Amino acid sequence: MDARYLKTNCLGWAVAAFALIAASAAIAQNYPSKPVRLIVSFPPGGPVDIMGRTVAAHVWPGGTPPMIVDNRGGAGGNIGVDLAAKSAPDGYTMVISIVGTLAVSAAIYSKLPYDPARDLAPIAIVGALPGVIVVHPTLPVKNVKELIALAKKHPGELNFGSAGVGTSAHMSGELFKMLAGVKIEHVPYKGNAPAMQDLLGGRLQLMFDYLPASLPFITSGKVRAVAVGGAKRSPQLPGVPTVAESGVRDFRMVGTFGVFVPAGTPREIVAKLNADMNAMLARPEYRERLTRQGAEVPGPGSPADLAAMLKSELVTWAKVVKQSGVRVD
């Protein structure tokens, strides 16, 4: 092959590559230039919605351009996540999810239309919500030991609700059943809020929920907290023990929230979004808002940190799903 031909083509490829890099840098520098959609894959009122709206209100000071929350609930959160995964990879569509829910869906659904590790690009971890076991106040239990004793006395008669099959709250309930050796029936709903309404109305006996969604009802006495799912007690409920303290030592329920964009989003935009999220995490108003809600505020992190957490959760929840026998075709 002619050396001049090779030299000319190599030069052409170099120029093209440089132009592409320059164009990507220019796009990132001007990003965002229009409203950004944040998909919340559950209906309004639940923990994912609460966290999503908190992020949308604080990520860019002054709200310019705005981040618009788009609730797309259904199928245990999979409709919204799939919509995000198939959106244009331009940085103008994001999705917020509990990392464990993504991992559970990958294990529980035989025909999941997306692969969370392949089709989503991680941005940042934005918060963590401790779980809480809440019961209707008429249920004659005040702690986990009494709950287990009642469930063993009446196997299959107690039921717990969740935002849908395959959600992290659902599988936390399944994990509790396995560890405690009890039979409690699961009732799936199309979102957390309708499940809570049935708990308030006495049509459910208990829920494995996340603290921000349940806290107003706990403080008003409409539901009773019997244990929290974190490694330590919550500052908002200092008198409520952890599930581990109560004897179920390997149980843990903490919802870690991650923000993702479609795979293929330019690296420069991913890096800018990560920097913006880290700046948000450092702002006192964001930290105070999450703390009031009972959430834990993480320190700054990289997309690789969120990717590593997703990888770990995929392994953990695949084991739990296999042991539970829960499967959706």
Q: Has residue 235 been placed in a domain?
A: no
The number of beta carbons lying within 10 Å of the beta carbon of residue 192 is 29
Q: Helix crossing, 303-324 with 99-108: angle to 10°?
A: 40
Q: Which helix (H) or strand (E) holds 149?
A: helix 144-153
With respect to residue 6, please indicate whether it lies within any of the assigned structural domains: no
123 and 145 in a single domain? The answer is no
Return the number of other C-beta atoms located less than 10 Å from residue 21's C-beta.
11
On whether the CB atoms of residues 50 and 290 are closer than 8 A, the answer is no
Q: What is the pLDDT of residue 27?
A: 64
Residue 25: inside a domain: no
Let me know: does 258 contact 97? Beta carbons within 8 Å.
Answer: yes
pLDDT, residue 158, reads: 97
CATH at residue 194: 3.40.190.10
Whether residue 170 is contained in a domain is answered as: yes
Q: Judge if 190 and 211 occupy the same domain.
A: yes
The verdict on residue 250 lying in a domain is no
Cα–Cα distance measured from residue 328 to residue 82, given in angstroms and rounded to the nearest whole number: 17
Q: What CA–CA distance (Å, rounded) separates 295 from 131?
A: 10
Q: Is 114 in the same domain as 135?
A: no
Domain with 51, as residue range(s), is 35-128+255-324
Same domain for 267 and 303? yes
Full-model pTM:
0.84
Indicate whether 153 and 195 sit together in one domain: yes
Residues 98 and 175 in one domain: no
Q: Do residue 155 and residue 223 come from a single domain?
A: yes
> What confidence score (pLDDT) does residue 3 get?
58
Q: Are residues 187 and 42 in the same domain?
A: no
- 74 assigned to some structural domain: yes
- State both tokens at 192: 């957390």
Query: Is residue 275 a part of any domain in this protein?
Result: yes
- pLDDT tens series, the chain, 329 aa: 555 655 556 565 555 545 545 455 566 778 999 999 999 999 898 889 999 999 999 999 887 789 999 999 988 899 999 999 999 999 999 999 999 999 999 999 989 999 999 999 999 999 998 999 999 999 999 999 999 999 999 999 999 999 888 888 999 999 999 999 999 999 999 888 899 999 999 999 999 999 988 999 999 999 999 999 999 999 999 999 999 999 999 999 999 999 999 999 999 999 999 999 999 999 999 999 999 888 889 999 999 999 999 999 999 999 989 988 888 87
My answer on whether 92 and 152 are in the same domain is no
Q: Which residues contact 143 (CB under 8 A, 6 or more apart)?
A: 226, 227, 241, 246
Token digits of residue 47? 């923990």
Q: Is residue 2 part of a domain?
A: no
Mode of pairing for the β-strands spanning 36-40 and 159-162: unpaired
d(CA 238, CA 265): 43
Contact indicator for 96, 55 with CB cutoff of 8 Å: yes
C-alpha distance across the termini of the chain, in Å: 56
* pLDDT the model gives residue 30: 87
The verdict on whether omega for the bond into residue 66 sits within 30 degrees of 0, i.e. cis, is: no
Is 224 in the same domain as 134? yes
Question: Nearest CA to 161 among 107, 207, 111?
Answer: 207
- From the number of C-beta atoms within 10 Å of its C-beta (0-12, 13-18, 19+), residue 110 rates as exposed
Helix (H, G, I), strand (E, B) or coil at 89: coil
Q: Is residue 187 classed as helix, strand or coil in its secondary structure? A: strand
- At position 324, the amino acid (one-letter code) is S
Asked if 83 and 159 sit in the same domain, the reply is: no
- The domain that contains 102 carries what CATH number? 3.40.190.150
Q: Do residues 147 and 170 both lie within one domain?
A: yes
204 and 136 Cβ atoms separated by less than 8 Å: yes
Angle in degrees, 0-180, between the axes of helices 267-282 and 47-58, rounded to the nearest 10: 100
Among the candidates 228, 244, 267, a domain finishes at 228
Number of domains in the chain: 2
